[in-house]
Structures are given as structure tokens and as C-alpha cells.
Amino acid sequence: MKKSLIALAVLASAGAASAQSSVTLFGIVDATIAYGKGSIADRTQLTNSGYNSSRLGFRGTEDLGGGMSASFWLEAGLANDDGQGASTSANNQPIPAFNAATGANAPVRSGTQGLTFNRRSTVSLGGGWGELRLGRDYTPQFWNLTVFDPFGTNGVGTSATLVSAAILQQADPVTVRASNSVGYFLPGNLGGFYGQFQYYMGENLSNPGSAKDDGTGMGVRVGYAAGPFNIAGAASKTNFLSGDLKTWNVGGQWDFGIAKLMGQYVSNKVDGTVASNSINASGWLAGGLIPVGAGEIRLSYSEYKTDVVNLTVNNPKFQKYALGYVHNLSKRTAVYATYAGVKNKGGANIALNGSSNGANQNSSGYDFGLRHSF
């Protein structure tokens, strides 16, 4: 009898603990057959993340009482076509080129990349006052690019406004996420208003003559959503050795029931340490989502142009159109198809789905895929 009472007490204690805290395993596995056509070479691949980014994650929340809670979120990117994990940026700085003489900055050999929680690795404290979040996370300046893109910045249909590092002439590790960040999110009871602030650190030495601010920056995003309407703006500045990157963007969506219309505008500016590194660039997108039975039609047009201060080089510009369809087989499983085309001008050579393209030549590509979430 005594042992039975002890067992009941242990079960009751476990039940109380589980009521106060929880841990969830989640993920997405998205496989894509991708084809890209360029003026130099075409490419066919079995790749991943054509609709949603493949991932494996763990998240948990503990109720601290009094309206307070603590939580964690660990999310790793996956290349399910070959089993590799995705890489991460440790200090928000471009990785220098490999030095064969010294062995510095040696690249990871293909097939040896381990699992990293590159997508998100945060611990948080929240309450009626909002949320304090510490770790690696999305940047405020990225949110408008993905939320107001009909293709969610995934696959061949990704908006031209999500600029590649090649166009900005420097690697920008914080376009999407930042490491070593401290973020604050407004509470969700402000009558439709929302927002966040983030400060991220390059974590360099502060001795004289060092690049102590390289990879350090901050961003802010504010928005308003009510009924079918949603609009938000963001701005950021990141310090880099080759020149500080300043960006701002605005995006919006209106849900008409029969369709969701989306739009966004982005401006990027690099204040280069030399004239050839100084760049002004801007782009915009217009698109929409149209529900059709158990599926959805996705379409968008976007363009991006770059003005380099050094007038001896071309000022590239490219235009992109995309059309796709997603069919939901269930709440967790979907099949999809996307077609996209690019028109290059001013020396731009953007190529789709890993193909190779010459300057001012067009490129096209398509995705066919299967996505399952759990």
C-alpha cells in the first residue's frame, strides 16, 4: 500500500510538471526536383526546400507563474537530398578566402557538414511586457522580404528583392539571420500593432587598430495588422570592413478573400571604404496568392537594380517573374510546381537553380516537389 501511494505521488508530481512545461519535436522535409537553364550551362538536381525550408527543431516552454514564461528554440537546417546539415555564421562576418599557404579558412569538404542549429538557437523570457530573446535569430530587415513574398523566399520563385551577396559585391551574413543577438518583441495585445528590435555583435577585440565593429549592427521593425490588412516597415545598419550596409524596406498585404495581394519595396546602401565598394541598390515586388480548392496559385513579379559609384563598371539590373501552384494532400503534406524566368541587363548574370549564365542573358527554371511537416 505504501509503495502504491509513493507511485501515485510520483505520477501526480510528473503530471504537475508537464502541465507547467512542454517540449516539442518538429520539422519539415521538402524534396525538390529542380531544373535551371542558362546561356552557358543547364543543371538538373534533386535538391530541397523548394516550398518550405527543410529543418529539424526542438522547442519548449516553462510557465513561471504570474504571466511569465521561459522558452528555448533550437532549429537546424537540413539538406535532405544528401543528408547534410546547413552551415552557420559564427560572428556575422564574411568568411575570408581559403589561404592554401597557411591552411587558414579551410572549406568544409562536401559531405562532411555536420548538423548546426543555424536557423534559430534562442532562449527567451516573456510576459505581458513582451519577449526578450537571446541567440541566433531572423533579422528584423528580413521579415518583410519573406512574409510579403508569395513564395516565402523559397525555391526558384524567390523574390529578386532578396539580394544575393554577389550583387552587393560583399558577403552579407545578416541578410536573413544574425548570431550573437539580443532581441525584444512587443506584446501581442497592442490593438494590431507589432514590432521588434534587435542588436547583434561581431564579438571582435577592441584593441586600437582592430576591426572591433565588423559584423555588429542593429535593426528594427514595426507593423500593423487588422482584419485583412497587414503592413510593416523595417530598417537596419550593419558595420563591415568593406563598408557599412544600410537597408530599409516596407511591405504589405491585403486579403480580399478570393485572393491575397502582396507588395514590397527595399533599399540597400553600402558606404564603401573605397569608391568601388559604394553601392546604392533598390528593388520591388508585386504578387499574390489565389486559393483554388485544396490548393493555391502563387504569382509574382520583382526586379532589383544596383548603382555602383565607380562609373567604369556596369550597373546591373534584373527582372524576375514566377508562377506556381501548391496542392495540399493533407494538413501536413503538399505537392507543388513552380516556374520562373529572369531577364538580365547592365551586366547582370543571374542564373536560376544552379545553372550558368552570361552577362545580359536570360535564365529560366522550374521546381517540382513534395513537402511533409511534422
Which of 98, 188, 152, 121 lies closest to 371, judged by CA? 152
- The residue that leads in pLDDT, 239 or 17, is 239
What sign results for the dihedral spanned by CA atoms 291, 295, 301, 307? positive
Grid coordinates in use for 20?
507547467
The class (CATH top level) of 28-373 is mainly beta
Indicate if the pLDDT at residue 4 is higher than 50.
Answer: no
Residue with cell 527567451: 124
* Three-state secondary-structure class, residue 18: helix
**How far is it, in rounded angstroms, from Cα 133 to Cα 123?**
6
**How far is it, in rounded angstroms, from Cα 141 to Cα 19?**
36
| Predicted pLDDT at 2 | 45
Q: Stretch 40-61: mean pLDDT, rounded?
A: 98
Indicate if the pLDDT at residue 8 is higher than 80.
Answer: no
Tens-place pLDDT, residues 151-201 = 999 999 999 998 654 456 555 789 999 999 999 999 999 999 999 999 999
